[in-house]
Chains A and B, each alone.
Chain A
């Protein structure tokens, strides 16, 4: 029995002891086939999934290698049944192949007639298939490539896709590394994506995902469609691309509520893509407007349902998904993987932090005790109003204001969910507020003032949850949120993770009313970050108030 760093569990999770001397070596070895599930301080959890194993096959690893790695690094004997299971799962990959046929277009091919028979009898699969050419070949209806792959995956017979990608219209794009240099992990992520064809890159907030996108474009050297969450983010992308690549302003178009430009590189918002006129998605034609060589989905965890459906139709184009937090409370992570592509790159947040590319963060949960009157009101409130009641209590507001005042010299964001609460805070602190109804121009002006340091504190609603680049923000005070959303918590922390010019750390305050549903939601919200190794510190509101 070796004394390895890895413990193989019967539920197919792998526990990696990161304090072990071999942990780095082992991590590299298992990353090829296991998915990182969480990475707290001492033991990281990876999971063996069929998808992960098939991806390993796709990138040239065979079952024997996988089993060797497990046996080599495992601390205890690995159950034989698990090894058999791995071998069996991996042997399923590649029995079916999708190929391009000069006459029939796309065809499904297999040397194993029985498997072909089995899948063609599947209720979901059958309608996507056309004429059977011979025992081993069936024509696939045009446009079904994505759906078919998804359906086959569900049946447990993943198809190896040899049909290739269209190159798209050529457009010369190169990185312009003047005065900056692409980071090692960004380069690895872009290469990992390019090598895999399509897929998702997971990097922490503030770790420079835009640059990974730019590097991917430089690989593709083709017209690119970039889908982002909102107009402000679209403009940030534009600026970043102008700065990081040799593209000039005329090459980049914005396709949003305000403008409808189509250029070799077009940045569109999810909102405009999903706008309906008379029940029809009026702007989905954008996908076909140019022979795109690459489609980038920013914040892919937010991908709305219509885009999902449309994405299935464009499986011959390369797709890159970018996100920091691939957790969805609706459990649709699997759809992202099967339509955009598998996870191509993932790295623990704390590792990027250790390399100095994101600011170290101190997460603090401030426990607020409601006054007796408030508690009584809370107790008698209707169930559906309870969260709003405890999240917007007067006591909480007092603590938020006290905290903001303590950090008068720092760049502070006060983030919340409820607009009247935000308005009150804005009034009492005497600082501007940005909400959904704030015009884009006004938003951009305020963000610019904040970046330059002219405004020290901003009150923002959830419009600032994502993609807003505020490098010098060091303090975030969260007063309320979308119930128990894990990714919102992580994204909000992300707003203050850009490395600071003076190397300061960031601090994230989350204000939680004690003994209420607020506390339960907070526990769920914090889980993603806790699993990434961010240990919350709990302080009592009195500590804050007494300081003033």
Chain B
């Protein structure tokens, strides 16, 4: 070879703009932010996080090819890869090159530094290399017992434990004698890579998967799926609404570590009539959308966004939840898990890298297999093919479960709405598929009312204040009681207003007992008036005053009769009201001029919405961004060429190259930052590296000098310098 290895940065520099654009599209993290020049680009592309991300994005087929590439000695030819894998690997190599996981040296390929480290010492379960020429002829003579030992090591792990290397059994002894096994230490033997490949039939993988398996499952017609999905959509919207209302009614206190406690979760689950894991999911969903927040005083409350959300049409409400669910890294399936089974919704422990990737892949597979309700093992295997590195079976289970709850799927198959969502369509088609809202109720003699369908928002909120909900679903069953009517009156309505509303809204005549109930409560409501500050109780009805004064339960309020119709107390107003209500009275608060104060019951957080940060995958950048990135890097490169005598290398490359030159005992040129910050080029003979310092003989002074590795900006073989100088006509 006339030249030494060219660097990855050089190779990138040589790529066409189109190829660079393709690279950035496949690995968006390389241009976030845009690097200054190719050296920086190569550094980033070979950094561990970026490589891990790139490897994680590979499907099983591409990953297998990369593994095979790591087995071969570098540089290697295309044909070598093909021979140890299969003919189909041709295309895969192009793709991997495009991704910057391979780079070219002439017609041959190399892997960027660090890649082999990430793949591991024993790729595909292959042992250490012998390095020397190997004589395979002995393999023909392996005795039967030794062959059995070999068969256990062929497909890895390549190491085996024995009790004492000095006294191996006959089977192992024979193999050691013939160098088919090598001893690693006194207890460990290993099958060398060359033999293993030979024994694998000159291939490296037991099974190559160039394509995913075909999805199996039950057929579900699109209509069935859509029907089921729309039921799920209306249910999840109702759940969220109900969950948030419940928080407003009885705000739970957050755990010290943040999040909702198990007991609260159980309570809400009971209230909603769903499983706890489902409540956890609902809580997370609302949290993502900023509908709920943990207030500074640790109360978990709906935010003001909730009110805005409520006023939106169903489709928008659904979209606002689902679109965040698609990208979130928070995994609500983990709730209740963990070492102490205490991972809490809204808590800090739910983030998992790769969750959204698995979710997206799962949905992608459903999208490619419409009208199929997949069998779980089958879809898991396909997800695993697409994301062998990030695969997590639980994530698939949870993604499917949550997609069903959300109505993205119905009966397991992707619904039309789910498809529209994945295609980012403007109209999802939910609004027209949901049942039409009804604008009436049916009141019955047992003081219940049925809304035979989803109520219009206005009527629903009105009903919510004057009646309790008894049953939910397609319809809503309300029950009127003294307490519910009182609540309505507390909201500032009068008895007549309630009656008028019900008469107008009900298709059936109002039963007389209900009319009486409203009149009675309205008549009694506010009969008692409680003043502020040190409160007073006054009532025109002296009998009632007498009753309260004699009520033993009220004794601790220390009531004083200050007039025939007025009682006073030293307790604060809210306390007095609560206590009196508890004892079955119906007091109302009034202000100084005797005007009734209505008490809205809706509590909202004071904080602004603080939804959790979305830790998602890098999304593919727009064409324009890529184009400008290419331009920027090229420009940076030109400005660097002012002093380009030694090409810049990344610290990883620097280290790798110097090690290589030490081994080859070659003279090299380095560009070195001196103590004053100036950069000078030195020609040196490298001797050794230790503790971040390179010891070398300086050609100019002839002395042994020490160079700090972090200060070395670039390394090149000495002869290239003169060439570069010539190129630049210096």
CB distance from A384 to the nearest CB of B (A): 12
If A10-B473, A75-B474 touch, whether A530 touches B450 (CB-CB below 8 Å) is no
- The verdict on B512 contacting chain A, using a C-beta distance below 8 Å, is yes
* Segment touching A, from B96-104, B343-351, B441-449: B441-449
Residues in B with CB closer than 8 Å to A74 are 474
Roughly how many angstroms separate A481 CA and B685 CA in the complex, as a whole number?
111
* Minimum Cβ distance to chain A for residue B116 (Å): 49
Contact of A538 among B473, B516, B543, B551 (CB under 8 A): B516
Picked from B411, B453, B524, the residue with its CB within 8 Å of the CB of A515 is B524
A533 CA to B508 CA, complexed, in Å:
14
Q: Is B228 an interface residue, CB under 8 A from the partner?
A: yes
Q: Is A418 close to B, CB under 8 A?
A: no
**For the complex, is A15 an interface residue (Cβ under 8 Å from B)?**
yes
* A386 CB, nearest partner CB in chain B, Å: 11
Q: Is A535 an interface residue (CB 8 A)?
A: yes
CB contacts (< 8 Å) of A40 on chain B: these are: 444-446, 448
* A535-B442 contact, Cβ under 8 Å, with A8-B474, A13-B471, A77-B227: no
Mask of B451-483 contacts with A, CB within 8 angstroms, 1/0: 011000000000000000001111101000000
Question: Is A447 in the interface zone, CB < 8 Å from B?
Answer: no
Which residues of A369-402 are within 8 A (CB) of B? 372, 375-376, 379-380
Interface pair B473/A11, CB less than 8 Å apart: yes
B710 proximal to A (CB < 8 A): no
| CB-CB contacts below 8 Å: A237-261 with B | none
Instruction: Return chain B residues, CB-CB under 8 Å to A379.
Output: 543-544, 546-547, 550-551
Q: Is the CB of B474 within 8 A of A536?
A: no
Cβ proximity bits A69-80 to B, threshold 8 Å, 1 near / 0 not: 000001111111
User: Other than the known A10-B235, A380-B546, A535-B512, what 12 A-B pairs have Cβ atoms closer than 8 Å?
Assistant: A10-B473, A11-B473, A13-B477, A40-B444, A80-B232, A80-B404, A376-B543, A379-B547, A379-B550, A530-B445, A534-B445, A536-B445
Contacting B411 at CB < 8 Å: which of A42, A80, A531? A80
Q: What are 27 A-B pairs with beta-carbon distances under 8 A?
A: A1-B435, A7-B474, A9-B475, A9-B477, A11-B273, A11-B471, A13-B471, A15-B471, A40-B444, A43-B442, A43-B452, A76-B474, A77-B227, A79-B231, A79-B235, A80-B231, A372-B543, A375-B543, A375-B547, A379-B546, A379-B547, A527-B446, A530-B446, A534-B445, A535-B511, A535-B513, A536-B512
A223 vs B520: C-alpha distance when bound (angstroms): 57
B230 interface residue, CB < 8 Å from A?
A: yes
Q: Given A9-B477, A11-B472, A15-B475, are A77 and B446 also a contact pair (CB < 8 Å)?
A: no
Determine which residue in B435, B477, B546, B550 has the highest number of CB atoms from chain A within 10 A of its CB, and name it: B477
User: 0/1 per residue, A1-25, Cβ < 8 Å to B?
Assistant: 1000001111101010100000000
Q: Bound state CA distance, A43 and B273, in angstroms?
A: 22
Across the A-B interface, the 6 shortest Cβ-Cβ residue pairs: A9-B473, A379-B547, A535-B445, A530-B446, A76-B474, A77-B231
Per DSSP, are chain A's interface residues mostly helix, strand or loop, or mixed? mixed
**A75-124 interface with B by 8 A CB criterion:** 75-80
B450 CB contact (under 8 Å) in A43, A80, A536: A43
Per-residue contact bits, chain B 160-191, to A (CB 8 Å; 1 contact, 0 not): 00000000000000000000000000000000
B508 touches A41 (CB 8 A): yes
- Among B473, B513, B547, the most chain A Cβ lie within 10 Å of the Cβ of B473
List B residues 226-244 near A (Cβ within 8 Å): 227-228, 230-232, 235
Contact of B444 among A7, A41, A80, A372 (CB under 8 A): A41
In this assembly, does B410 line the interface, its C-beta being within 8 Å of a C-beta of chain A? Answer: yes
User: Shortest CB–CB separation between residue A361 and chain B, in angstroms?
Assistant: 13
Q: Which residue of B lies closest to A14 (CB)?
A: B473
B contact set with A: CB distance below 8 Å? 227-228, 230-232, 235, 273, 404, 410-411, 435, 442, 444-448, 450, 452-453, 471-475, 477, 508, 511-513, 516, 520, 524, 543-544, 546-547, 550-551
Inside 8 A of A38's CB, which chain B residues have their CB?
446
In the complex, what residues of B have CB within 8 A of residue A13's CB?
Answer: 471, 473, 477
The answer to whether residues A530 and B447 also contact, given A10-B273, A77-B230, A536-B512 and a CB cut-off of 8 A, is yes
> In whole angstroms, how far apart are the Cα atoms of A183 and B513 in the complex?
35
CB neighbours (8 Å) of B228 from chain A are: 77, 79-80
Given A8-B473, A15-B477, A533-B445, verify A76-B550 contact (CB < 8 Å).
no
Which residue of the partner chain B has the closest CB to A13? B471
Q: How far is the CA of A11 from the CA of B238 in the complex (A)?
A: 13
- Residues of chain B within 8 A of A79, CB atoms compared: 228, 231-232, 235, 473
> Is residue A365 within 8 Å, beta carbon to beta carbon, of the partner chain?
yes
Contact with B along A37-64 (1 / 0, CB 8 A): 0101111010000000000000000000
In the complex the two chains form, what is the Cα distance from A9 to B478 in whole Å? 13
- For the complex formed, measure the closest distance between the CB of A391 and the CB atoms of chain B, giving whole angstroms: 17
**Which B residues are CB-close (under 8 A) to A45?**
477
Of B273, B445, B452, B544, the residue contacting A7 (CB under 8 A) is: B452
Q: How far is the CA of A410 from the CA of B346 in the complex (A)?
A: 70
Do the beta carbons of B452 and A75 come within 8 Å of each other? Answer: yes
B453 contacts A76, C-beta separation under 8 Å: yes
A79 to B406, CA, bound (A): 12
Contact in complex: B235, A538 (CB < 8 Å):
no
A28 CB–B CB distance under 8 Å: no
Query: Does residue A277 face the partner (Cβ distance < 8 Å to B)?
Result: no
Residue of A nearest to B405 (CB): A81
A537 within 8 A of B: yes
Rounded to whole angstroms, the CA-CA distance of A365 and B404 in the bound complex is 51
Report A-chain residues with C-beta under 8 Å of the C-beta of B512: 535-538
User: How many Å from the CB of A196 to the closest CB on chain B?
Assistant: 29
> In the complex, what residues of A have CB within 8 A of residue B444's CB?
40-43, 530
Kindly state the separation between the CA atoms of A9 and B235 in the bound complex, as whole angstroms.
10
Q: Is the CB of B450 within 8 A of A15?
A: yes
CB distance from A240 to the nearest CB of B (A): 33
Contact B453 A75 (CB under 8 A): yes
For B233, the closest partner residue in chain A by CB is A77
The distance in angstroms between the C-alpha atoms of A526 and B516, with both chains bound, is: 14
Q: Which residues of B contact A538 (CB under 8 A)?
A: 512-513, 516
- A9-B477, A380-B550 known; A15-B452 Cβ under 8 A: yes
Q: Once bound together, how far apart are the Cα atoms of A227 and B156, in whole Å?
A: 79
